[in-house]
Structure 1
Amino acid sequence: MRLDKFLQVSRLIRRRTVAQEFCQSGKIRQNGRVSKPGARVNPGDVLEIDFGWKVTRVRVLTVEHLGTEKMYEELTSS
């Protein structure tokens, strides 16, 4: 699944266009590297999202959208 789509489906970021803007401005790191919106997300990847007022780190558990199943686990939020 694309990074921007994962962020939107998992509700980490509410809109896909906003997720794309975050990626393009370098606010999202995937496994320690700045990622593009089209980067592939795999289970086990660590995403770091800089919201400006806080940085959230999550580990991807699944890329399949199965309703209420949790797609990620939060590692840290500062």
Structure 2
Amino acid sequence: MRLDKFLKVSRLIKRRTLAKEVAVQGRITINDKVAKASSTVKVGDELAIRFGQKIVTARVEEIRENVKKEDALKMFTIIKEERLEKVEPEFIDDED
């Protein structure tokens, strides 16, 4: 199944167009490789998705074309959620 469709059907990302945008920005990896929206997702794959200052890592448990809202959570398991530390910009002192 395509990555963008999996993200929508599993409800990890609410809309397929948003899933495509996130993938185009290089914020999704499958098994530690940057993924495109058209990348194929298989059972056992590990997805890492960066949402703002947070990275969510999930393992694909099952692939289904259509799923009820309450069953969508069975499609993946959250492995970890890590918060990215906000990097303060460095100020350059131009005094010579």
TM-score (norm 1): 0.94
Deviation beyond 6 Å, 4+ runs, structure 1: none
Residue matched to 2:79: 75
Tell me how many residue pairs correspond in the alignment: 78
* CA drift at 1:66: 3.9
Alpha-carbon RMSD across the aligned residues, in angstroms, is: 1.0
Unaligned 5+ runs, structure 1: none
SS at match of 1:29: strand
Question: Percent of pairs identical after alignment?
Answer: 44
Q: Give the corresponding residue for 1:19.
A: 19
Q: Supply the distance in 1 between the matched residues of 2:31 and 2:21 (Cα, whole angstroms).
A: 19
Letter in 2 for 1:77: E
- Pairwise CA distance, 1:38: 0.6
Which shows bigger deviation, 6-15 or 64-73?
64-73
1:55 corresponds in structure 2 to: 55
SS in structure 2 opposite 1:23? helix
Work out which of the two has the higher radius of gyration on C-alpha atoms and give 1 or 2: 2
Q: Which runs of 5+ in 2 are unaligned?
A: 83-96
What is aligned with 1:32? 32
